[in-house]
With several copies, the nearest count.
Chain A
Amino acid sequence: MTDRILVQTADFSFAAEYDWLVSGNTGDGAVVSFVGRMRDLNLGDPVAAMELEHYPGMTEKSLQALVAEARGRWQLGRISLIHRVGRLEPGDQIVWVGTTSPHRGDAFAATDFIMDALKTRAPFWKKEITAEGERWLEARGSDVDRAQRWEKNSINQQE
């Protein structure tokens, strides 16, 4: 059981993160990863760049709490979670989550859960910079709906 949790302005390497998950790890047959990338369009408008603000101090604590919750729910080997902050451009990587497990169902569920929880509970805010000026992104109802799937007694609860 090992966690790697980072908040950073620098980009991350998909290959290096994967290597961290699997090197010397022959007990976990399943590796699931998610990468969130910046799109070049939002609500139909071209986006030139994005500024990602966070709450230093609380951010890593909240990510650690999500990962601990995932460990309580599923049988997991290694977990890595990296979120970037600062200025980002279209195509840039924003967030990485990778999990390993002996069971692929656990790795899928945990990775999906961590993203849903992060989207509703971790203190990050995106501001888009377009030709017309700047605007803060609005939270989306669909993210709230997805997060609620994991609540106890949810009819859609997985596993």
Chain B
Amino acid sequence: MSEQTVKVLFFARLREALPEPQVQLAWPKTATVADLRAALRARGADWQALTSDLLVAVNQEMASSTAPVQPGDEVAFFPPVTGG
């Protein structure tokens, strides 16, 4: 059920470095962005590209490592942007 999960997206260099471009993660509680990153890194060696210097958006707005992540949220990790 989407209410008990979060959708996590990856972009650009990070997307190519990780085994999957996005994951649906069991997430029944409210915790921080940092907790979510730690949970993903705990998946194994392939996930160490998910470093703490990446940018993060929660529900499509820029967020810090201490921002809360709730069930149903959409979270994205990505490198510094290079548009324009």
Q: Which of A55, A57, A115 is the one whose CB lies under 8 Å from B84?
A: A115
> B50-84 interface mask toward A, CB cutoff 8 Å, 1 = contact, 0 = none?
00000001001110000000000000101111111
Q: List the A residue with the shortest CB-CB distance to B57.
A: A58
CB of A126 within 8 Å of the partner chain? yes
- With A and B bound together, what is the CA distance between A118 and B83 in angstroms? 7
Complex interface residues of chain A between 3 and 50 (CB less than 8 A to chain B):
36
- Size of A's binding interface in residues, CB under 8 A: 28
Which interface class (under 10, 10 to 19, 20 to 34, 35 or more) fits B? 10 to 19
| Chain A min CB distance to B6 (Å) | 15
* B11 interfacial by beta-carbon distance below 8 Å: yes
- A69 at interface, CB cutoff 8 A: no
A138 to B13, CA, bound (A): 10
Query: With a CB–CB cut-off of 8 A, which chain A residues contact B13?
Result: 125, 136
Which chain A residues have a beta carbon within 8 Å of chain B's beta carbons? Answer: 36, 52-55, 57-58, 61-62, 83, 94-95, 115, 118-127, 136-139, 143
